[in-house]
Amino acid sequence: MYRYDQYDQNLVDTRVEEFRDQVERRLSGALTEDQFKPLRLMNGLYLQLHAYMLRVAIPYGTLDGRQMHMLATIARKYDRGYGHFTTRQNLQYNWIKLDDAPDILADLATVEMHAIQTSGNCIRNISSDQFAGAAADEVTDPRPWAELLRQWSSFHPEFTYLPRKFKFAVIASDEDRAAMRLHDIGIQIVERDGSFGARIFAGGGMGRTPVIGKEIKDFVPVTNLLSYLEACIRVYNRHGRRDNMYKARIKILINALGVEEYVRQVEAEYAALDKQDIDPPLAEFERIAAYFAPPAFEADAPDTVDRSDPDFALWLDQNVGQHKQPGYAMATISLKPVGGIPGDASADQMDLMADLAERYSFDELRVTHAQNIVLPHVKKADLYALWQALNQAGLAEANLDLISDIIACPGLDYCSLANARSIPIAQKIAERFADAGRQRDLGELKLKISGCINACGHHHAGHIGILGVDRKGTENYQLLLGGSGAEDVSLAKITGPGFDEAGIVDAVETVTNVYLGAREQGERFVDTYRRVGMEPFKEALYG
């Protein structure tokens, strides 16, 4: 994985010092809260219901054991011994004191980490495929491209006060594990005539107005990529709406202009920018890419696994994926135990995952946008030992992509914007479907919960989505069906009137029963829904 050189380290250290200065000016009153707000947001510090929340960047979801240990240390030292992995592959601490924030950033900088641009109206942490560098189906590792974007977007002088936040995702396979087309700009690395380039989608996003990103360019070579993206964002910075924060994302601009007109403006801008010496030479990309060379796999590692322990076999079938290297596998550690808080990990669990990564996965971990952790390079011969260690720590839930592998936003328990609680709903649904055999029978079922219309819990992209709303002062939950954030991307539709807390759990069970009754051979929930349509589900819910 990428390692900082003297320049990267200097920039991050300087940021810590800058933020310390800004916090001091805020505490002395030299900065008003209004003036300080965008500065702290640019360092990932939010004011929530009960305390400050600090969001730490985990660029493209990749980290090593040393970094994970540091996240655990910070959780113990400055928080309440927990951290929360997010749908942007980041980590949040929910109980932070403002005066501690500079020290936390200083601790992070010692392990090449930061909280730069994890919030604010700027280019946010770049997300990517959690299986990058390991998946059998990728054309190349997307992370060097993501790292190139990370450096370019950090402290970008022109794009720090955009109309609204701006999110990138980069993938390099046809299977989309990063909800690429639901980002402001989604990039798929593709191969053409023996070289790689970026296929670019723009204007996707969730939030109040979910939109699927549209293709705006079929191939941009790496040595033109940054100037092309500057053109894309400059058009947005100049013409995106600033009068209404709910209409300020690039998707609204592109819908208003029409994609052809947006592309025309981008191309005109690019024609001028291309001459400006914005793009680093190919040698810089190659320098970055060298850090992502495959680890030293054993050429003749055995490709078979002893399945004699039935509990292990269940986990193997559900949570372990095909690696490009024979004899190796990608193992997902579920952070969704039944009754737990989706995405939460204790400091002890973080330390354990770090130890296991060091021991079994070439010192690498990944955070997934579904709020789980991946050990990307595990020798098949080590899988059983790994599982035993996870199982002892309560981290061997075999529910990847099943109904209890729920994405949920923090909701009313933490978030000041929330209309309703998300976490207790996730817990109740997981408990209702606690029987592992029943979950496996239901098969792949992506359930996603947001506590308000801002959609941080990705409910539009859920096979089953749940949206918390406020109905005359009480929490109410709308049910949505048929969304997907994967390569079969689609937006979920509302079934009808919402439900109360108990009712929504029943409603989820009702729609799964409709599916079980109607499914044909090999169909997932979402496939059946697409075939039979909304009616039978509505009928069962309201009929």
In whole angstroms, what is the distance from residue 113 CA to residue 95 CA?
19
- Using an 8 Å Cβ cutoff, are 120 and 38 in contact? yes
Q: Which is nearer to ligand SF4, 403 or 452 (CB)?
A: 452
For residue 4, state whether it binds other proteins (rule: CB under 8 A).
no
457 binds ligand SF4 (CB under 6 A): yes
Cα 339 → chain centroid? 22
Q: Which stretch binds other proteins (CB under 8 A): 132-140, 158-166, 211-219, 457-465?
A: 158-166
**Least Cβ distance, residue 78 to other proteins (angstroms):** 24
DSSP reduced 3-state for 62: strand
The pair of structure tokens assigned to 494 is 């509302």
User: Are the C-beta atoms of residues 132 and 364 closer than 8 Å to each other?
Assistant: no
Of 134 and 467, CB closest to ligand SF4: 467
Binding piece for other proteins, criterion CB under 8 A, among 10-18, 107-115, 182-190, 201-209: 10-18
Q: How far is the CB of 414 from ligand SF4 (least distance, A)?
A: 8
Nearest distance, CB of residue 234 and other proteins, angstroms: 5
In contact, 461 and 448? CB cutoff 8 Å: yes
Stretch of residues binding other proteins (CB under 8 A), selected from 31-39, 78-86, 329-337, 429-437: 31-39
In SS3 terms, 187-255 reads as EEEEEECCEEEEEEEECCECCCCCECCEEEEEEEEHHHHHHHHHHHHHHHHHHCCCCCHHHCCHHHHHH
User: What is the size of the binding site for other proteins (CB under 8 A)?
Assistant: 43
- Evaluate whether 450 touches 458 at the Cβ level (below 8 Å): yes
Residue nearer to ligand SF4 on the CB measure, 182 or 455: 455
Residue type, 124: R
- Per rule CB under 6 A, is residue 418 in the interface with ligand SF4? yes
Q: Name the one range near other proteins by CB under 8 A: 34-42, 322-330, 398-406, 502-510.
A: 34-42
Contact between 155 and other proteins (CB under 8 A)?
yes
Task: Select from other proteins, ligand SF4, none the partner in contact with residue 401, using the beta carbon and a kind-dependent cut-off of 5 to 8 Å.
Answer: none
Q: From other proteins, ligand SF4, none, which one binds at residue 349 (CB under 5 to 8 Å depending on kind)?
A: none
The gap between the terminal CA atoms of the chain, to the nearest Å, is: 54
CB burial readout 307-346, b (16+ within 10 A) else e? eeeeebebbbebbbbebbbebbbbbbbbbbbbebbbbbbb
Do the strands 185-192 and 168-171 form a parallel or antiparallel pair, or are they unpaired? parallel
Residue from 417, 436, 494, 534 touching ligand SF4 (CB under 6 A): that is 417
Q: Angle 383-392/347-360 helices, nearest 10 degrees? A: 170
The residues, ordered by sequence, that sit 6+ positions from 365 with a Cβ below 8 Å of its Cβ are: 62, 63, 64, 65, 68, 353, 354, 357, 373, 374, 375, 376
User: Rounded to the nearest whole angstrom, what is the least distance from the CB of residue 15 to other proteins in the complex?
Assistant: 9
Is 7 near other proteins (CB under 8 A)? yes
Q: Is 158 in the site for other proteins (CB under 8 A)?
A: yes
Q: Which two tokens stand for residue 73?
A: 């240390």
Binding to other proteins (CB under 8 A): which residues in 342-371? Answer: none
d(CA 118, CA 88): 9
Our finding on whether 281 is near other proteins (CB under 8 A) is: yes
**Contact flags string 223-252 toward other proteins, x per CB under 8 A:** ---x-------x--xx---x----------
Sequence-ordered list of residues with C-beta below 8 angstroms from that of 308, at least 6 positions apart, any chain: none
Tokens of 312: 């292990």
Nearer to other proteins, 283 or 296 (CB): 283
Rounded to the nearest 5 percent, the helix, strand and coil shares of the chain are 40, 20, 40
CB of 276 to other proteins, least distance (A): 6
* CB nearer to ligand SF4: pick between 203 and 468: 468
d(CA 542, CA 534): 12
If one asks whether residue 480 binds ligand SF4 (CB under 6 A), the answer comes out as: no
- Residue whose CB is less far from ligand SF4, 154 or 422: 422
Q: Give the nearest distance from C-beta 457 to ligand SF4 in angstroms.
A: 6
List beta partners, residue 211.
Answer: 205
Q: Could you say which of ligand SF4, other proteins, none residue 180 binds, taking C-beta under 5 to 8 angstroms by partner kind?
A: none
Which stretch in 30-38, 89-97, 176-184, 342-350 sits in contact with other proteins by CB under 8 A?
Answer: 30-38
Q: Which of 340, 451, 483, 485 binds ligand SF4 (CB under 6 A)?
A: 451
Give the pairing type, strands 82-85 and 62-63: unpaired
The C-alpha R_g of the chain, in whole angstroms, comes to 23
Chain residues 278-337 in contact with ligand SF4, contact rule CB under 6 A: none
What part of residues 396-415 is at the interface with ligand SF4 (CB under 6 A)?
Answer: 409-411, 415
Residues that bind other proteins (CB under 8 A): 5, 7-8, 10-11, 14, 17-18, 21-22, 25, 30, 35, 38-39, 121, 151-152, 154-163, 226, 234, 237-238, 242, 272-273, 276-278, 280-281, 283-284, 287
Residues that bind ligand SF4 (CB under 6 A): 409-411, 415, 417-418, 450-452, 454-457
